[in-house]
A and B are shown apart, each in its own frame.
Chain A
Amino acid sequence: DTGVSQNPRHKITKRGQNVTFRCDPISEHNRLYWYRQTLGQGPEFLTYFQNEAQLEKSRLLSDRFSAERPKGSFSTLEIQRTEQGDSAMYLCASSFGRPDSYNEQFFGPGTRLTVL
């Protein structure tokens, strides 16, 4: 399977704990995106990487959130001191970026986080 993969698929944690999610994009894709989706809503943009550089962060990404893409391949999203409001589906997408044209984003299956 050469699609975008995310691990784990489900995570249940207690409030106050730290969690880390991983995203493996399609291998030749240089752009990677994180989105968050709450129940009954559409996905909301969190952050974006071009290769290893994090180029934009949404104001939704509080200080408790950090994302990395150390070698321009896989990415991790860490949430520290989780709160019940962090419960959501976290989606990763990747694309092959050419600056002058649209680049379709391919989405992974998501990681569903439940904070008790």
Chain B
Amino acid sequence: SQQGEEDPQALSIQEGENATMNCSYKTSINNLQWYRQNSGRGLVHLILIRSNEREKHSGRLRVTLDTSKKSSSLLITASRAADTASYFCATAVNTGFQKLVFGTGTRLLVSP
């Protein structure tokens, strides 16, 4: 079963704009990760944030985590057409064995 949901389910923006996606989950976690999926490259790991972290940056990506609300957000700044893809959050409850529980995904369309 899915851990939670992403919001919105679909997002359409213009190049240069920022895109924000939200993820909610149900159980306590060790870490939360964001993945991108497109038909050309499959699932690609973007960023990981641990349960004791509140914010993390990687290039044009900014991830926040609020464990009290069991939610996370992914911000993509200055979006490009190449960012068009589906984005999934995935949670892991353990440190060692990483059984990932994915959300339902946000489909992002960035138009030139």
Contact = CB atoms under 8 A, between A and B. Distances in A.
Given A101-B95, A102-B31, A42 B88 contact: yes
B72 to A, nearest CB: 14
B27 interface: no
A103 B98 contact: yes
A97 interface: yes
A106 B45 CA distance: 7
Please tell me the size bucket of the interface on A: 20 to 34
A21 interface: no
Interface string B39-62: 001111100101000000000000
A105 B97 contact: no
Contacts of B44: 107
Interface in A48-76: 48, 50, 55-56
B48 A104 contact: yes
A95 B42 contact: no
| Residue among B43, B45, B97 facing the most chain A CB atoms (10 A cut-off) | B43
Interface in B43-90: 43-45, 48, 50, 88, 90
Nearest to A41: B104
B96 A43 contact: no
Interface string A21-45: 0000000000101010000111111
Contact of A102 (B92, B101, B102, B104): B92
A45 B96 contact: no
Interface string A83-112: 000000001010101111111111111100
A41 B43 CA distance: 13
**Minimum-distance CB pairs A-B, first 9:** A42-B102, A107-B43, A99-B96, A109-B42, A42-B88, A43-B102, A45-B99, A42-B105, A42-B103
21 contacts: A31-B97, A35-B100, A40-B104, A40-B105, A41-B2, A42-B104, A42-B105, A43-B43, A43-B102, A44-B1, A45-B101, A91-B42, A100-B96, A101-B95, A103-B98, A106-B45, A107-B43, A107-B44, A108-B42, A109-B42, A110-B42
